[in-house]
Amino acid sequence: MTLTAGTKLGPYEVVAPAGSGGMGEVYRAHDSRLNREVAIKVLPEAFSRDPDRLRRFQQEAQAVAALNHPNILAIHDFGEHQGSPYIVMELLEGETLRQRLLSGAMPTRKATDYATQIGVGLAAAHDKGIVHRDLKPENIFITRDGRVKILDFGLAKVTHPEPVAPDAATLASQTEPGVVMGTVGYMSPEQVRGQVTDHRSDLFSFGAILYEMLSGKRSFHGETSVEIMNAILKEDPPELTEIGRTIPTALGRIVGHCLEKNPAERFQSARDLSFALRAVPDSSNSSIVSVKTSRNAVLAMGAHRGGVGAAWYRHWPIAHATFR
């Protein structure tokens, strides 16, 4: 079902198509009640008859609606139009991080700023017991004023339902061991193995994203999905020294600590990660470093506390297991 300009979904009037993706069509629309522009994602009618897709769509709405945070895409409403559910979201203007990375590596200061905002947003989600499980540049949006927004919680896992909704336990992804969920290149080792994941899996994905922001290259490479997954399990990314840029030593340690294969050896919370990022000195006073650093080096810098618009809508990410 394709909606044309002027189509009304309750108080919302479609203005124009804004993109499409694996979980539905996205439209720019006008909210007549509050006189504002919004984005509406409509789940196709055929998908609405698929219990798994419908559950994920409802899960995304409920999970994100519980996350009232400036670094997470806001959900305004949820409804149904001619048998097709839809989500009403804030309309973003700017570009995805993937689009920004098409021009290459980012300035260190800018990468650190964006990474800190991502970390703060993740901390808010994790505090609600929500694990994203599909963090990647396509799911990070940079607004025109430099605000970072985390998108697409279609694969989110609710680890404790109380803060989200009384029935969230039935909407959470009940992934059985052995099922691979995520996007190749940004999955954690435990995701690749199909093991049960927690918030530390998001921190590994975060490390892969930060590496890419600093180097302009993906952290794990291969000709096929299998080769990339094998690299995630067994290899370390090429050293940041190879890019020939001055990277703060502390920032290199943070990347290495996030990309530890063993979850127990990573940061244990996004809050600790954000704290470490805020403590990173200006690059003019630091030297080029290697991504792979010892856990003890990170402990020594005091980061391991407590125990160890519309451009985005044109590239709306597929909200299920993707291998690309």
Which CATH number fits the domain that encloses residue 123? Answer: 1.10.510.10
> Strands 84-90 and 94-96: what pairing?
unpaired
Q: Regarding predicted confidence, which is higher, 317 or 277?
A: 277
Q: Look at residues 90, 107, 140 and tell me which one is the last residue of a structural domain.
A: 90
One domain for residues 290 and 142:
yes
One domain for residues 45 and 186:
no
Average pLDDT over the chain, rounded to whole? 81
One domain for residues 160 and 305:
yes
Residue 273 belongs to a domain: yes
Q: Which of 31, 52, 77, 134 is catalytic?
A: 134
Residue 188 belongs to a domain: yes
Which stretch of 42-46, 172-176, 187-191 has the lowest confidence by average pLDDT?
172-176
One domain for residues 161 and 190:
yes
Residue 246's pLDDT band, with cuts at 50, 70 and 90, is confident
CATH code where residue 50 lies: 3.30.200.20
119, 83 in Cβ contact below 8 A? no
Q: Which two tokens stand for residue 222?
A: 């291969």
Residue 244 belongs to a domain: yes
The pLDDT of residue 25? 84
Residue 53's pLDDT band, with cuts at 50, 70 and 90, is confident
- Phi/psi at 304 (nearest 5 deg)? -100, 60
CA pair distance 288, 177, nearest whole angstrom: 40
Domain count, the chain: 2
Catalytic site includes residue 134: yes
One domain for residues 216 and 77:
no
CA pair distance 182, 132, nearest whole angstrom: 10
**Alpha-carbon radius of gyration of the chain:** 20
Q: How many CA atoms lie within 13 A of 234 on its CB side?
A: 7
Residue 308 belongs to a domain: yes
